[in-house]
Amino acid sequence: MRQICSAAFLILCMLSTPLSGCIEGPWNSNLQRAEKDNGGDTLRILTYDIMALSDEMISAYTNQTGISVEFIRANDAGGVLETAILNKANPQYDLIIGIDNSFLGDALAFSLFKANDVNVENISQKALSSHDGSYAVPYDMGSICINYDTSFVDGENVTTPTSLWDFTESEWEGRVAVQNPRTSSPGRSFLIATTQYFAEDADESTDYTDWWAAMSANDVIVSSGWTEAYETHYSGGYGPWMDGYIGDAQAVVSYCHSPGVEAWYGDNWTQSAALNLSGASFLQIEYAAIPNGAGDISQAKSFIEYLISPEVNSQMPTQNFMYSVLDGYSLPEENGYRHHSVSPIDIQISSEDIESHIDEWLNNWDAAI
């Protein structure tokens, strides 16, 4: 045991000397690109864990084109971006799916994507509002806003908030769950929404940092991801029937159509509602893009075209719980899916603006919380 200690100590001493510069940026390493053995019949897609293209959709694609599909998975949208940056010089995949507009600016700044000429004329203006599709093609979208428990907001003791400032009142103390914008993409989206909301509201003297500081003082619950915030903390959704449920939050950051999904599975019943507040929501748009190092892009292009074809994209609300990006397809009316979803007026911001400010916002958020 003494030897274990002395060795551990040695290693520690070794490691604690600042070694910066000892190894020359291996992320630039020009490793010989491994021969691709896929011949041309396999399409390799980098995506994250909840990318929900059903098996039927994939096998239909393979049947139509003769191209088989292989997935390389990362944990989440952030993970997709990290993997893409690390493999930038030598991508082992032909297509990247799942980077959203809150991360897109970073991806473009790292020049991860190759320009494509996919025809986007069927895609709605709303879906192209953040990026025109030249590097990344939108395939689904949904607005992020605050959801609340209607059994708590009963209109008597607690009234429906009409401003985000209402959540800093004592009746909401310790009852709002948000996601850490550093580890969660809904959290990041909502942070972006707040930066714009408070810039455009009537009160010139305060901005988002004041609101976040007030929220922090009001014991806002910060979770690391969407699942924890929604399932564990939020009392309005399906959380109460999950094992890990706490139920200390009566409002949570989620999608504006999450109550719709609740109703879809809940036989047209839900006690959750989305807060229809103008300028306090962020339209999250998810993209498919071709990595910059890719060789032959025809297969990847054919998959993107398949993904935005009406037969596949119209299925997004039920397969992926997101809106279709095509004009003329809304949420299904069955089971109250559409009825329980709201479409507030989202903030307008380009992915370039997000990229240039996100570090500042994140740092200010850290400081405020």
Partner 1 sequence: MRKGALLLHVAPTLLFSVLVFFPLYLGFTRLITVAELSPFAAIWQIDSRPSGTGAIAFTFIEASISTIITILLGIPIAWTLARDNWPGRIYLRAIFTMPFVMPSIIAAVGFLALIGTDGPLYPLGIDLRQQNGIIGEISDATGWENPGHFIALIAAHIWFNLALTIRFLEPPLSNLNPNIEESIKLLPGGNNIFSRMKNLWLPLLSPNIAAASVMTFIFSFTSFALVRWLTPSSYTLERLMAEHGGAAGIPDYGMGDAQIVLGSATIQLITIMISLILLNWLQKRNSTAVPFALSKGQNRQKPFREMSFTSILKTFYFISILIFVMAPLIAVFRSSFRIRVRTGDVGFTQQWTLEGWNSLSTLSWNQTTITEALFNSLGYAALTLLIAVPLGIIFAHNIHLSDELATNARTRGKRFFWKYWARGNDLLVMFPLAISAVLIGLGVSLGLLNTWPSLSQKWWFPAIGHILIATPFVVRSILPAIRSLNPDYSKAAALLGLGPIERMFKITLPLLSGPIVVASSLALAISLGEFGATWVVLRNGASSTLPVHIDALFSKPGFDPLVTPTAMAGASVLMAITLILYVMVEKYRPDGAGGEF
Instruction: Select from 40, 50, 64, 356 the one that contacts partner 1 (CB under 8 A).
Output: 50
Interatomic CA distance for residues 266 and 268, integer angstroms: 6
Judged by CB under 8 A, the stretch of 29-37, 202-210, 295-303, 304-312 that binds partner 1 is 29-37
Instruction: For residues 210 and 352, give the distance between their C-alpha atoms in angstroms, rounded to a whole number.
Output: 25
Please state the closest distance from residue 23 (CB atom) to partner 1, in A: 5
What tokens does 163 get? Answer: 């401003």
Q: Which stretch binds partner 1 (CB under 8 A): 111-119, 195-203, 221-229, 288-296?
A: 221-229
Closest separation in Å from C-beta 24 to partner 1: 10
What are 65's two structure tokens? 């084109």
Task: Give least dist CB 216 to partner 1, A.
Answer: 9
Handedness of CA 127, 132, 138, 143 (dihedral sign): negative
Stretch near partner 1 under the rule CB under 8 A, chosen from 77-85, 141-149, 191-199, 303-311: 77-85
Task: Spell out where the chain has E strands.
Answer: 42-48, 68-74, 95-100, 113-114, 136-149, 176-179, 221-223, 251-255, 272-274, 282-291, 323-324
Cβ burial of 314 (10 Å; 0-12, 13-18, 19+) is: middle
CA–CA separation, 188 and 186 (whole Å): 5
Residue 258 Cβ vs partner 1, minimum distance, rounded to whole Å: 8
Q: Compute the distance between CA of residue 289 and CA of residue 295 in angstroms, rounded to an integer.
A: 14
* Placement of tokens 């949904």 in the chain: 142
- Can residue 5 be called a binding residue for partner 1 (CB under 8 A)? yes
Per-residue contact track with partner 1, 82 to 121, x per CB under 8 A?
xx-xxx-xx-x-------------x---------------
Q: Which of the residues 249 through 268 are near partner 1 (CB under 8 A)? A: 261-262, 264-267
CB of 319 to partner 1, least distance (A): 11
**Cα–Cα distance measured from residue 247 to residue 249, given in angstroms and rounded to the nearest whole number:** 6
Q: Using CB under 8 A, which of the segments 112-120, 125-133, 140-148, 236-244 binds partner 1? A: 236-244
Contact 368, 209 (CB under 8 A): yes
Please count the residues of this chain forming the interface with partner 1, following the rule CB under 8 A. 88
Q: Which of 2, 35, 155, 170 binds partner 1 (CB under 8 A)?
A: 2
- In whole angstroms, give the CA distance from residue 272 to residue 151: 8
| Candidate ranges 28-36, 119-127, 274-282, 339-347; the one touching partner 1 (CB under 8 A) | 28-36
* Span near partner 1 by CB under 8 A; candidates 162-170, 217-225, 284-292, 343-351: 217-225
Cα gap 211→369, rounded to integer Å:
10
Under the binding rule (CB under 8 A), the answer on residue 72 touching partner 1 is yes
Please select the residue that binds partner 1; options are 146, 221, 289, 297, rule is CB under 8 A.
Answer: 221
Q: Residues 304, 118: contact at Cβ < 8 Å? A: yes
| Residue 39 · residue 306 · CB < 8 Å | no
- Is residue 39 near partner 1 by the rule CB under 8 A? no
Binds partner 1 (CB under 8 A): choice among 38, 65, 68, 79: 79
- Regarding 349 and contact with partner 1 (CB under 8 A), the answer is no
Task: State which amino acid sits at residue 81.
Answer: L
- In the region spanning residues 312 to 341, those forming contacts with partner 1, defined by CB under 8 A, are 321
Between 18 and 328, whose beta carbon lies closer to partner 1?
18
